[in-house]
Amino acid sequence: MEFDALLLSRIQFAFTIAFHIIFPSFTIGLASYLAVLEGLWLLTRNETFKTLYLFWVKIFALSFGMGVVSGVVMSYQLGTNWSVFSAVAGPVIGPLFAFEVLAAFFLEASFLGVMLFGWKKVGPGLHFTSTVLVALGTLTSAFWIISANSWMQSPSGFAGTVEEGLVAVNWMQVIFSPTFPERLAHMVLAAYLTTALVVAAASAFRLLRDASEAESAMALKMAIGMLAIVAPLQLLVGDLSGKVVLEHQPAKLAAIEAFWETRTEQPFHIAAWPDREIAGNHWELSIPKVGSWITGGSVDAEIQGLDAFAPEDRPPVFIVFWSFRLMVGLGMAMIALGFWGAWLIWRGSPARSRVFLKACVAMGPTGFVAVIAGWIVAEVGRQPYVIYGVLRTEDAVSPIGAGAVSASLMGFLVVYAIVFSVGALYILRLLAEGPLAGALEPAPSEQRAPGSPLSAAPEDPGPPSKGDH
C-alpha cells in the first residue's frame, strides 16, 4: 500500500468527517428534543421540563459549536484535496451545499442566539418559536447534506462528462435523486436514536447516583419512549434503504452481503472473512437462501454478486461487510433496550432497575458508533467512485504532493485531539453533574458594601411564621 496523496486525502477526509458527523447526528435530535421539552413546559408549566431544557440547551450549544468548527474543515477540503471533484461536479453539487449554508445553517445560527440569550427578553412564545426554528434548521441542514451525498450515490438530472464538466439539467432530479428519500429518513432517525441514547445514558448515570432525581427519571422515560418507537422503525427504513441500494448500487449491496457469485438462493452471511484477493470468503457462517429473501424479497430472486463487476469496479468488501454488521447489531441492541425500558415503565419505574440503568449507560455511545459504521458502509461501499459510475475517486483528487497532505493530516490529528478532547470532556462533565447542578445553586445574595454596618448584619430570615410566636 502506497501512501500517496490519494490515500492520504482519503484518510484525512475519513478522519475529519468521522469527527464531524458525531456532532450533527447529536444536535439534530437534541434540537427536536429541546423543542418538545419547551413545548411541554408551555403546555403544563411543569418545572421538570424547564429544568431539563436549561440543562440540555447547554450541551446543545457546545455540540453545535463543535459541529460548526469541524464542518468548516469538510467544505474547505473539497477545494484543497478534492479540487478535480469540485471542478467537475461543482455546478451540480455546489448549489446544494450553498442552500445548506444559506437556508439551514443561517436559520440555526440566527435563532440560536434567541434560544440562549433571549428567553426573558422576547418572552415564552417567541422563544419557543426560536427553538422550533433551530430544530427545523437542523433538519433542513440534514436535508441538503443528504441530498448532496445521495446525488453522489445515485447521480441523476445532469448532463456532460468528466472531461467537459457536469451541469444540472433537472434540479428536481438532482435534489431528489433515487436514493435520497430513504437515506434522509434513515439519517434523521439515526440522529434521533443517537440523541435518545445519550439522554438515556446521562439520565441513567444520574439515577444510579440518586434514584429520586425526578428530572432524570422523566428524561429517561422520554428517551425510552423514543427508543421503543424509533429503533424498530429504523429497522424498517434501513431495509427500504437496502432495497434502494440493490436497485441503484448493486456492487455496494454485494459487498455489504459478501455475495461473490450472481445466483438465486443467496445465503445470508451472519459472519464471514471476505477477501478480495481470492474473490471469496475464507470462511462463513451462513443461513442458506435467506440472503436472497432479505435483499430481493424472495429466495428465488437472483441477486448480483461481485463477479458481475470487473475487479477494478468492486468496492472494498471486508470493511463494508463488517461495518454493516456492526451497525445492524447495535440497532438490534437499541431495539432490545427500548422494549426492555418500555416493559419496565409498564411494570412501574425503570429507575428501580440498576441493571437496566447500567445497560443504558453502556449503550450511550453506541448511536455514534452506529452512525459512523453506517457512513463507512455508504462511503466505502460507493468506491471506487466518488460519483457513482461517473467519476472515480482516484481521478477526483487534487494535484498535490503526498508531503503536503501528510502535513495537514498530522495537523488535523494534533488539533482535533486537543480541541475535541477538551470539548468532549467538558460535555461529559456537564452530563455527569446532571440537570439539577445549576438549578440548585443558591441565588446570589444581595451585594453589601464591605466594611459597612450592613455587611456585618445577619441575612434577613424573612417574615416570621406562625410557629415563631
Partner 1 sequence: MRDIIEGPPDSEAPRPPLARRLAWFVALALGGMAATGAVAYVLRALLGLE
CB of 241 to partner 1, least distance (A): 33
CB of 76 to partner 1, least distance (A): 8
Q: Is the peptide bond before 288 cis (omega within 30 degrees of 0)?
A: no
Q: Per CB under 8 A, does 404 bind partner 1?
A: no
For partner 1, the closer CB: 114 or 376: 114
Grid cell digits, residue 56: 440540555
Q: What's the start-to-end Cα distance of the chain, in Å? A: 88
CA 53 to chain centre: 21
CB of 117 to partner 1, least distance (A): 6
For partner 1, the closer CB: 45 or 466: 45
CB of 162 to partner 1, least distance (A): 26
The CA distance from 52 to 30, in Å, is 12
Contact positions with partner 1 (CB under 8 A) in 215-234: none
The continuous run of DSSP H or E covering 247 comes out as: helix 214-248
CB of 334 to partner 1, least distance (A): 30
Q: Per CB under 8 A, does 110 bind partner 1?
A: yes
Grid cell digits, residue 77: 477540503
For partner 1, the closer CB: 175 or 202: 202
Q: Per CB under 8 A, does 116 bind partner 1?
A: yes
Contact positions with partner 1 (CB under 8 A) in 407-466: 438, 441
Instruction: Please name the residues in contact with 126: beta carbons below 8 A apart, sequence gap of 6 or more.
Output: 114, 118
Torsion of CA 347, 353, 358, 363, to 10 degrees: 0
For partner 1, the closer CB: 123 or 401: 123
Number of residues counted as binding partner 1 (CB under 8 A): 31
The CA distance from 315 to 320, in Å, is 8
Stretch that binds partner 1, among 104-112, 171-179, 298-306, 389-397 (CB under 8 A): 104-112
For partner 1, the closer CB: 57 or 337: 57
Binding partner 1 (rule: CB under 8 A), the pick from 120, 282, 466, 469 is 120
DSSP 129-188: HHHHHHHHHHHHHHHHHHHHHHHHHS--SEEEETTTEEEES-HHHHHT-TTHHHHHHHHH
CB of 41 to partner 1, least distance (A): 8
The continuous run of DSSP H or E covering 71 comes out as: helix 47-80
Work out the widest C-alpha separation in the chain, in whole angstroms: 95
Binding partner 1 (rule: CB under 8 A), the pick from 103, 122, 229, 279 is 122
CB of 110 to partner 1, least distance (A): 4
Q: Per CB under 8 A, does 103 bind partner 1?
A: no
C-alpha closest to that of 270 among 329, 317, 336: 329
CB of 435 to partner 1, least distance (A): 12
DSSP state of 303: B
Stretch that binds partner 1, among 88-96, 110-118, 257-265, 277-285 (CB under 8 A): 110-118
Q: What angle do CA 319, 320, 322 make, to 5 degrees?
A: 65
The CA distance from 29 to 200, in Å, is 13
Between 63 and 92, how does the x/- string for binding to partner 1 read (CB under 8 A)?
---------x---x----------------
Q: Per CB under 8 A, does 61 bind partner 1?
A: yes
Q: Per CB under 8 A, does 98 bind partner 1?
A: no
Q: Are 330 and 373 in contact (CB under 8 A)?
A: yes
The continuous run of DSSP H or E covering 402 comes out as: helix 402-433
C-alpha closest to that of 53 among 127, 104, 140, 108: 127
For partner 1, the closer CB: 126 or 236: 126
CB of 340 to partner 1, least distance (A): 34
Binding partner 1 (rule: CB under 8 A), the pick from 1, 121, 212, 445 is 121
Between 128 and 167, how does the x/- string for binding to partner 1 read (CB under 8 A)?
--x-------------------------------------
DSSP state of 282: E
CB of 360 to partner 1, least distance (A): 25
DSSP 84-130: HHHHHHHHHHHHHHHHIIIIIIHHHHHHHHHHHH-HHHHHHHHHHHH
Contact positions with partner 1 (CB under 8 A) in 2-41: 41
For partner 1, the closer CB: 113 or 329: 113
The continuous run of DSSP H or E covering 392 comes out as: strand 391-392
Stretch that binds partner 1, among 112-120, 192-200, 270-278, 329-337 (CB under 8 A): 112-120
Length of the chain: 469
CB of 411 to partner 1, least distance (A): 15
Footprint on this chain of partner 1 (rule: CB under 8 A): 41, 45, 50, 54, 57-58, 61, 72, 76, 105-106, 109-114, 116-124, 126-127, 130, 438, 441
